Structure 1
């Protein structure tokens, strides 16, 4: 739905530009950008907690007040929360005048986990319930660079395939080891142990293919000097294991990351 709306807006803007640049167009149809009002920046987003309860749905969203210091970050958090709420409301509206047997629910908490002059990180955790045995986990991480006034993404941080291969290899090794350790601790019969390891390894290998998109959720782990000593990659349920395994994380040390970090971000890392 969001993609369609964006496409429609882009098409409308393009059509407007064509009308404005058409030969013989009267002066009154000058580009809107010449208007002072059009040049004015968008109003900052003010993040406010949301609590809403009806007999059809329940919404609870909480934000850290500190995020309002950074308008770009505040907008990113607001946009994410709005998109998840839109998904919930679409499911609610599908009932028409009826209502679900149990209220649908969106629960989403944003928490600041890093706050330095160089790096700010916000963790978003929650779930969206629209029927079934359990809700859909919602996991997102936002890393903001105040001095650049920009969000740091995994694709920008590690720009080449060789880097993602090194990260993928390290993460897979850690996750594989954890699976074998759990299987041994549970003292499963040999056949059950082998089946569990095989199926989970398959999920791990699929969910950690060496692509930036598979490592999009991360937060920096800082040393006492405020430098990044590791990146903690976060994997929601189903990406690298069954739902019962929950959210999983792997810390990748700076020593492994640094050879592959884009030069403009290398100064953020401990050496």
Structure 2
């Protein structure tokens, strides 16, 4: 039997883990470490006390599906509606894939392993003008293990709500120039985090120096002060930087003068140099 419901509740996930539960705990820890008390108070202040998060859940013999968005997003009617539409589109595509795989298993006589998909949107930045969300999807389609992908959207409270959320990179006038300005600090930070992670996990003593192209990354936006966007959040999914065992990497790059100069004039007031 299939259950469909939109209820309160929220989970978070940016790290690549083997199960949805491990992913939830991992990013919860990251968010907790990343927000100052001022940041926490800012997030709470901008959301009505009675606001509830959005969640779509489906469970059947063929597949499990979960799609969640935080109460900060659900409290904005136009954004809440856009996320519900995105959830339905994602669900329909995933269901079609699962049904086809189940039919193939029956036709060719092998065991079908139920598909699973968990998509979670989490607040990356909440400022007076912008709400930035980072989306993490864990999915399993019958292989040796699941995998993760990422996405990001930006809501402009001063923009045209009928046009829906923005792609974060749409607020910049020259995307290649943006990456050129951000690549050096990003690559340095990524290298340091990789060495630390690999050493702690015992995955090896030496690593290849890898820095992904912008097209391989998911770009979100962040804030250190709760007032303006002052950093890029650059996310590499599993396999982009290293093997699956390394997981994903989320690196924050503070906004420098070159990056700030590339923000389109109509959005500039909502951005600043990093504190």
Q: Give the shorter-chain TM-score range.
A: 0.5 to 0.7
After superposition, the C-alpha distances for 1:98-134 in whole angstroms (9 at most, x for unaligned) are 3953321122223344334301122322312111111
177, 197, 214: which one aligns with 1:162: 177
Q: How many residues align?
A: 211
Which of 1 and 2 has greater Rg?
1
- Cα 1:77–1:217 shift into 2, 3 Å: farther
> CA deviation digits over 1:213-252, x for unaligned, max 9?
444431322415x122322222221222322222211111
Asked if 1:252 corresponds to 2:264, the answer is no
**Larger % of helix: which?**
1
Aligned Cα root-mean-square deviation (Å): 3.0
Larger RCO, structure (CA 8 Å, separation 6 or more): 2
Unaligned segments of structure 2, at least 5 residues? 1-52
SS at match of 1:228: coil
- Aligned residue number for residue 270 of structure 1: 272
Q: Secondary structure of the equivalent of 1:178?
A: helix
1:242–1:73: structure 2 CA closer, same or farther, 3 Å change rule? farther
1:268 to 1:136, Cα distance in 2 relative to 1, 3 A: same
Per-residue deviation at 1:184? 5.4
**1:189-204 map, 5 Å:** 193-194=205-206, 197-198=207-208, 201=209, 204=210
Q: Distance in 1 between matches of 2:133 and 2:173?
A: 23
How big is the shift at 1:154? 3.9
Q: Is the 8 A contact 1:174 1:250 kept in 2?
A: yes
Cα deviations by residue, 1:8-31 (Å, 9 ceiling, x for unpaired): xxxxxxxxxxxxxxxxxxxxxxxx
What TM-score, normalized by structure 1, do the two folds share? 0.65
How is 1:75-114 mapped onto 2 (pairs within 5 angstroms)?
75-94=81-100, 95-96=102-103, 98=106, 101-114=112-125
Q: Measure how far apart 1:187 and its partner are.
A: 7.5
Conserved? CA contact 1:137–1:237, under 8 Å: yes
Which 5+ residue runs of structure 1 have no aligned equivalent? 1-46
Contact 1:125 1:139 survives alignment (8 Å): yes
